[in-house]
Amino acid sequence: MTNKKLRRFFVEEIEAQEGSFSIVGSEAKHISRVLRMGPGEQFILMDAKGHRFLALIESISGREVGITLLESLPRPSSSPIQIILYQALLKSRQMDYLIQKTSELGVDRVLPFISERTVVNLKKDRTDNKLRHWGEIARSAATQSDRVSPAQIEPLSSFQELMEGARGGNEFKVILWEEEGSKDLKSLLRASEPMKRLVGVIGPEGGFSREEIEAARYSGFIPVSMGRRILRAETAALTLVAIVQYEWGDLSLGNP
């Protein structure tokens, strides 16, 4: 069986003693109870630092899966561009979908924020649970897409805080705005010299106010459109990441 056909599982850190390792928690449950894998089966084990091993199941006991690490495997190539996504908070299902799919496409960090027209009211006592949930989605997406490490999901901020923190820096910065009539993202990327890091800002379903766009301009962001289509916020985020990866990143066989 080739490595591409083997199942992949994720742990935070692989700590091996003489080639042996124990998997516990949700991944152990998924291996034993959901997939019903057993001793003698092989899979690929990944961790947050980008390590990956060919692993063999030796035993399954309760919520623990004992394995042997057979060999270290090479890391996949990283995209030549780091993509950071500032994303206005969306409803639960849309936000989950956005994190999953942008993670698969190779976004490096997602910074959720509250803006003037954000309609979701996330209570403070639920924020930590949401961050854990989004982190699990990002880790699952990393195993699915065979990326080096999962996307990092940052704590919830305000739009103003993000704009203040983004001033200066050596990155390409864009903000999607449906009222922008002269610049579209694809044309802007093709007319610009590729950079190693891009920050993209996506607003809520109601879009940004003009005051927020001016604040973004002041922090160095270029307002751009996606053309004539009106996209939902989660669709706009996926489209932005896909276009950036196509133009400057790794959505090709020839660009490692």
Q: How much is the pLDDT for 240?
A: 96
**Is residue 192's pLDDT more than 60?**
yes
- The DSSP H or E segment spanning 64 is strand 64-72
**Is residue 33's pLDDT more than 90?**
no
Within the chain, all domains assigned CATH 3.40.1280.10 are found at 82-248
- The dihedral built from the CA positions of residue 129, 135, 138 and 140, taken in this order, carries a sign that is negative
**Is residue 203's pLDDT more than 80?**
yes
Per-residue burial over 32-63, b = 16 or more CB atoms within 10 Å of its CB, e = otherwise: beeeebeeebbbbbbbbeebbbbbbbeebeee
Q: Is the separation of the CB atoms in 150 and 109 below 8 Å? A: no
User: Of 74, 38, 245, which Cα lies nearest the Cα of 146?
Assistant: 74
**Is residue 162's pLDDT more than 60?**
yes
CATH 2.40.240.20 is right for the domain spanning 3-72: yes
- The dihedral built from the CA positions of residue 75, 79, 85 and 90, taken in this order, carries a sign that is negative
Eight-class DSSP state of 62: T
Q: How does pLDDT run across 61-117, given as a tens digit for each residue?
A: 878 999 999 999 988 888 899 999 999 999 999 999 999 999 999 999 999 999 999
Instruction: Name the pTM for this structure.
Output: 0.86
Average pLDDT score, the chain = 90
Within the chain, all domains assigned CATH 2.40.240.20 are found at 3-72
* Token output for 142: 């990393």
CATH code at 82-248: 3.40.1280.10
Residue 83 forms beta bridges with which residues? 198
Q: How does pLDDT run across 36-62, given as a tens digit for each residue?
A: 999 999 999 998 888 899 999 999 987
Q: Is the separation of the CB atoms in 188 and 222 below 8 Å? A: yes
Q: How much is the pLDDT for 146?
A: 86
User: For residue 174, what are the contacts with CB-CB under 8 A and spacing of at least 6?
Assistant: 185, 188, 198, 199, 200, 201, 221, 222, 223, 224, 240
**Is residue 176's pLDDT more than 50?**
yes
